[in-house]
Each structure stands twice: as structure tokens, then as C-alpha cells.
Amino acid sequence: MLEFCLHVLIMSAIFGIAAVSLNLQAGTGGLLNFGQIALFGIGAYAVAILTRAGLPWPAALPAGMAAAALGGFAIGRLGRDLAAEYWALATLAVAELVRLVALNEDWLTGGPQGIGGIVGLFPGLDGVARALATLALAALLLLGTALMARRLGQTQFGRVLRLMRENPDLATALGHDIVACKVKVLAIGGAMAGLAGGLYTLYLAFIGPDQLLPFETFLIWTMVVLGGLGNVAGAVVGAMLVTTLYAGIPFLKDAVALPSDLTGSLRVFAIGSIVLAVLMLKPQGLVPERLRRLHAQRP
């Protein structure tokens, strides 16, 4: 049971980073990135390939972040002239492309079998000690990511992103190059998502194309929508709740004697229900975006 709890917490922290990243792009910048899992996947595969080649993880992880940042930059440049909705569709297509490349380029990605047997984090430790060390690392990186995202949301950078979200023409009229802002936030979000993907690979010692299905993107979206778009703390809370639920559902089958092939569908059903319930009952999420009161702050 302790090991299960640690597992859920580690996964919460990892997906928390991915959710904070999506929240910066979609919550603050209003960018409907439906290809978040591609950025996660680029980081995950980069770390897998590099550690397989013998690179230690402290070097592979930043490299994976850089690769995913480049991916974010590319997605931003790609659709720079597209309207928001069409760009959202394009991101979904890009994510599927990334998954198909991972599925088919056996020489690089191991094809459908993925890349396994990765030397994970803290190979010197065992069992609970290893899980605790992994949790500490993941939690620390989540904290760092969340603080960074919060800071970026508070300064002029975030202010321009929010103005871009609500009225791009006004942002342009005030002299802000919204394409450049979009590319910047996608590169930053990409690096964060790549960090989450890299951690994921290192923790599970495995990455495969099935981890990059579009459903994973919607899972991250569910976390952000449940927590509250535009609020960093909300993204972390949403990631914890969704991850716990997702991991907890298999236990339900023991409790209520459900056939085991139902748990997969039940998970999808639960995620869908959450999204619907939030959108109908509390569209601003559990921790809504707050208005920044700059004037009152002054001494």
C-alpha cells in the first residue's frame, strides 16, 4: 500500500509538471494545444535514447527538455498564421505524427515495443528508498516548474499572454508581437513538458508509442480544466486528483467485483464525467484564476 501511494504521488508530480506546462500555454496564453503529449513524448524519447546510448540521466534530462522546447518552437512557428481553432487541430495532427514516427522508426525508437530496460533514477537504491528519492526529485522539479510558471504569469510577459488570450488585436495595437509571444510560451511549455516526459521514462524505465495516444493529452487537459485554467496551483491540484482517480480505479474492480477488462473503459468514462461535471458546475475550475491587484500591493 505504501508503495502504491508513493507511486501515485510520483505520477502526480510528473503529470503535475505536464499540467503546469499546459496551463501556462492554454490557461495564461489561451493557446489550445491539443498536442501536449507530443512535447511530453519528445522529452521522454530523447531521454530514453540518450540514456540507452550511455548518457547519465542528469545530462539526458536537460537534453530532453531542449529537444521538447525545440518541438514547442516548431509547433508555434508552424501555425503562426492559423486562427486559434485551426491551430488547435494542427497540434493534434502534429502529436499523432510524433506518435507514428515513434511507432515506425524501429531503429531509433524501438517501434511498437518502445524502449525498455532504461537505467532509471537512483539505481543504487531499492524499493521504498528508491521511490522516496524519486518522489523527492519529482516534487522538487514540480515545485521549481510551478514557481517559474507563476513568476512568468506575473510579469509583463504573462500580462501580454493574458491580453493575447482575451484580445489579440488589442495586444497587437499595443505593440506586442503575438506570434513571437506564442512561440516563446510554446518553447517554455515544451521544455517543461519534456521534463515531465523525461522523468516519466526514467521512473518507469520504459517509453512506448502507446503512452503518446491523444487520450493522454486529454488527460492532461482534464487536470488543467478541473484545477482551473490560468491558475498554477489549480494545475497541480488537478493533476493530483486526476492521477489518484486514474490509479485508484483498478482497485474498484476488487471492491465491486467488476470484470477486469472494464477498468480501462471505466477510466475513460471517469475522465469524461469529470470534464463534463466541471464544465457544467464550475467552469472556472476548483482553483479559479485570480485578478492581480497591483495597485493595492504598492507600499
The binding site for other proteins (CB under 8 A) comprises: 148, 151-152, 155-157, 159-160, 162-163, 165-167, 169-178, 184, 188, 230, 289, 291-296, 298
Query: 31 or 188: whose CB is closer to other proteins?
Result: 188
DSSP SS3 for 3:
helix
> Hey, what's the cell of 184?
516563446
* Residue 152 near residue 24 (C-beta atoms within 8 A): yes
130, 151, 181, 203 from 122: Cα distances, Å: 6, 31, 38, 10
Query: 3 or 166: whose CB is closer to other proteins?
Result: 166
Q: Least distance to other proteins from the beta carbon of 143, Å?
A: 15
Query: 23 or 201: whose CB is closer to other proteins?
Result: 23
Spatial neighbors of 139 by CB under 8 A, at least 6 apart, are 9, 13
In whole angstroms, give the CA distance from residue 233 to residue 227.
8
Q: Least distance to other proteins from the beta carbon of 279, Å?
A: 18
Q: Least distance to other proteins from the beta carbon of 61, Å?
A: 19
Query: 101 or 233: whose CB is closer to other proteins?
Result: 233
* Residue 52 near residue 108 (C-beta atoms within 8 A): no
Query: 260 or 295: whose CB is closer to other proteins?
Result: 295
* Residue 178 near residue 86 (C-beta atoms within 8 A): no
Query: 41 or 153: whose CB is closer to other proteins?
Result: 153
Q: Least distance to other proteins from the beta carbon of 137, Å?
A: 21
Query: 281 or 296: whose CB is closer to other proteins?
Result: 296
> Hey, what's the cell of 65?
527538455
Q: Least distance to other proteins from the beta carbon of 193, Å?
A: 16
Q: Least distance to other proteins from the beta carbon of 65, Å?
A: 14
In whole angstroms, give the CA distance from residue 95 to residue 85.
16
DSSP SS3 for 119:
coil
Q: Least distance to other proteins from the beta carbon of 187, Å?
A: 9
Query: 173 or 255: whose CB is closer to other proteins?
Result: 173
Residue 287: its H or E element: none
In whole angstroms, give the CA distance from residue 11 to residue 138.
9
Reading phi first (left if > 0) and then psi (alpha if -120 to 50, else beta), residue 117 is in left
Q: Least distance to other proteins from the beta carbon of 267, Å?
A: 33
* Residue 68 near residue 145 (C-beta atoms within 8 A): no
Please compute Rg for the chain using Cα positions: 19
